[in-house]
Chains A and B, each alone.
Chain A
């Protein structure tokens, strides 16, 4: 908690109230305890209070539940990551207590369910312990059967008290959440909440109050990355798609299946991922950019069809919510190890577009951008997110939907003549006409995965193969020329440039802030357009002694991660090196800083 150090309990007197600008709260329990719900309420409350919020959660890979955590960082200023160390740890079981106490700052508060947890004396001096019989008090508040149900809401009451949170707003959120269900459920939830809020925290600890937020412009909406992608696609005008369930992609397909019918569209659950991408491509062929997506193994299955879409020049959006691989891998871990398959996965030379959003808000806008690029350049676009961004909740300024929502319905305007693969266009960009379009010349197009002539008929001509290959390449080069050069965070010249992509933007920026505060020369660059790369990166790299690519993937055979390898291939610059890890957890700020130190030292020795 910045702006405040937790002080020793003031003996006997009233608890101290400290003004704080941000707090990190970690809730640890089992997944069936509804700890995600507490986190969700806090995140939503922050959104409604115009505060910034970022969450981080782990989900157990077994269905029956298991240890799970939810971390919320709420701040009145800018929140870039879900926080390295927690200020408050709320834990429900002995295992949660023992597992997570180390994630607490020295001097932090551990709020524990004394019905299940025996506090360890050796930890008492480092952390303020506050034991409350949460389970039995919940039963007392709402009745016997609610043993496990409701203790999350009871705890929310405790937290609300501790941080002096807005009571009416929370009551409203709880009522909304359970609305539509049995009236007694809402009543019980509120009863549990009030009981928690009314429970005396004793006079052993201080309580906190957030300083007023600087106020974000306009209304805030609160959602996770998967939701932002789903709604972004709808805003972009996507009305058809197909998929096969796999964690963590399934949320997006479930959302689209549920929502698209309202717009007259459909999302189809297919027999497998090959059918899913094929059906989506069929939908795109029929006239409107369609979407498919997957995670892990499902992405591998899609690559043959993806190659077809590249060859046939079909617009398509493929969402890849990355998880730990290869194979079934680490289904619920965070990893950024699909960049190579996204950029290169296919036999043959198969150029496509790859975009990686940096945060939840960016997921929404990137989905729209992906659709527009797919349509304009008639090409598959892969949107790379990851398990971390998919499930983390953020608040962002509400988009102006009336302005943003677009209609991309096909038109069937008759044409005089049409060549789907017209070679006369210098930039290689052509558009297909969907079936239903009348062509006066009587010459109709075939879309195909065989190398073809301008009308789509097969050819064995080496000359045409080279021309068509160039066409498919040139249109991406044309796109590349229009991409904005990303801005350096921090001074444009210095010792170290940290380069990142995707969900690591927050911790990397925070690492820059901390390093600079400590007097080190560190800046960062976030690359969103990964294929093609934006222009001007070499000039940026030229301003730094070390270019360290921070990625959640393996350092590979030669010591570089996947973006590191791509940048080295592109810029042939030996000062590009990697900071990689595959522990399945988001980068902590201090982790990045430590690695920068050793990496720079190692690098110098090697030079």
Chain B
């Protein structure tokens, strides 16, 4: 007869530690929530995204233990190291399924995912589509710099035609992905666009995304000063560009209108393009569980399994 060689591991012993109650707790200060000093190049757009994430944590009085920051690989994806909270630095392109594993098994957490355009739309492109269509609850902020930063200036799926990179010395020839169109078409239920040069707007979008019950996607333009300097100048009023908000008349539940906004020539509009409420996968799975558990009500786990075994005699 077989035997189990390893005993079930014991739960750790409970230490007498006083955890402050919610009333005793103040919002975290920037100092408490900042971890390693970012390794980004001075002037990199990613700094402002991080600063605004800190602001969001502070403003929304999130507690350390409830913050879960996930990323793939890239300059922008180093994000979790800079946040003093639970976090995971996963592999290139696969942050979304990893984050889905957390989201679907831990309804008490709101998961934030940060990453780059290559991570999101090249190697991770298929995961983007499926996480969006399943409407898995989490916030995904893509720091789009139109280039591969970490690997030092190769063409990215969002690089515009003609961009001279190390892999396209004569200028990019492949038609770029439009992240907003991609998100709308994939079925994301919250789709917003912002830029690192407008901090208030970034924070607004982050808050709205966090409050959305579903897969919330933000494309945040974030300049790579090292390999694509000036990419977004025409969206920055301080550089003589234009920062246009989504017109107040825009109906965010109108998919066609959202798609049209997404098709505007750069710099386009900033704000929430699309937002609808649809049941999340999280909610649907919970619904299935409820109805299945109704049938085994009052039974212990082993008794539920016993019923299966009784049928196999």
Contacts and interface: CB of A to CB of B under 8 A. Distances in A.
B22 interface: no
Contact of A449 (B89, B97, B104, B309): B89
Best-surrounded residue of A227, A278, A362 (most CB of chain B within 10 A)? A278
Interface string B87-108: 1111100101111111011101
Interface stretch (A30-38, A262-270, A583-591): A262-270
A382 interface: no
B264 interface: no
A283 B104 contact: yes
Interface residues of B, number: 69
A449 B89 CA distance: 7
A406 to B, nearest CB: 4
Interface stretch (B78-86, B140-148, B227-235): B78-86
Contacts, number: 240
Nearest to B67: A435
Contacts of A431: 12
Best-surrounded residue of A357, A437, A438 (most CB of chain B within 10 A)? A438
Contacts of B295: 262
A222 B313 contact: yes
Contacts of B306: 401-402
A235 B8 CA distance: 11
B56 interface: no
B309 A242 contact: no
A395 to B, nearest CB: 9
A372 B4 contact: yes
B7 A281 contact: no
B101 A447 contact: no
B88 A457 contact: no
A286 B89 contact: no
Contacts of A364: 2
Nearest to A284: B101
Nearest to B89: A448
Contacts of A373: 6
Contacts of A401: 302, 305-306, 309
B4 A290 contact: no
A283 B313 contact: no
B217 to A, nearest CB: 17
Contacts of A458: 81, 89
Contacts of B212: none
Given A266-B289, A271-B130, A484-B5, A279 B97 contact: yes
B64 interface: yes
Interface stretch (A84-92, A123-131, A384-392, A410-418): A410-418
Contact of A361 (B2, B5, B68, B88): B2
A435 B288 contact: no
B8 A242 contact: no
A376 B6 contact: yes
Contacts of A375: 8-9
A397 B302 CA distance: 17
Nearest to A263: B301
B76 to A, nearest CB: 15
Contact of A272 (B35, B81, B126, B304): B126
A278 B101 contact: yes
Contact of A372 (B6, B36, B304, B308): B6
Nearest to A479: B6
Contacts of B99: 282
B19 interface: yes
Best-surrounded residue of A280, A286, A434 (most CB of chain B within 10 A)? A286
A312 B91 CA distance: 11
B104 A266 contact: yes
B198 interface: no
A436 B106 contact: yes
B309 A221 contact: yes
A220 interface: yes
B23 to A, nearest CB: 16
Given A286-B101, A446-B88, A457-B36, A361 B1 contact: yes
Nearest to B126: A271
Given A264-B293, A444-B86, A445-B86, A275 B127 contact: yes
B24 interface: no
A186 interface: no
B206 to A, nearest CB: 19
| Those 3 A-B pairs whose CB atoms lie nearest each other, nearest first | A282-B101, A435-B86, A278-B97
29 contacts: A222-B312, A259-B308, A262-B292, A262-B304, A266-B104, A266-B285, A266-B288, A275-B96, A278-B101, A279-B104, A283-B105, A284-B101, A285-B88, A286-B101, A286-B106, A286-B109, A288-B105, A372-B9, A399-B309, A402-B302, A406-B8, A408-B8, A413-B12, A436-B66, A444-B87, A446-B87, A446-B88, A447-B87, A457-B35
Given A235-B302, A279-B100, A281-B101, 8 more contacts: A240-B105, A266-B289, A275-B130, A278-B97, A404-B4, A414-B15, A435-B67, A435-B68
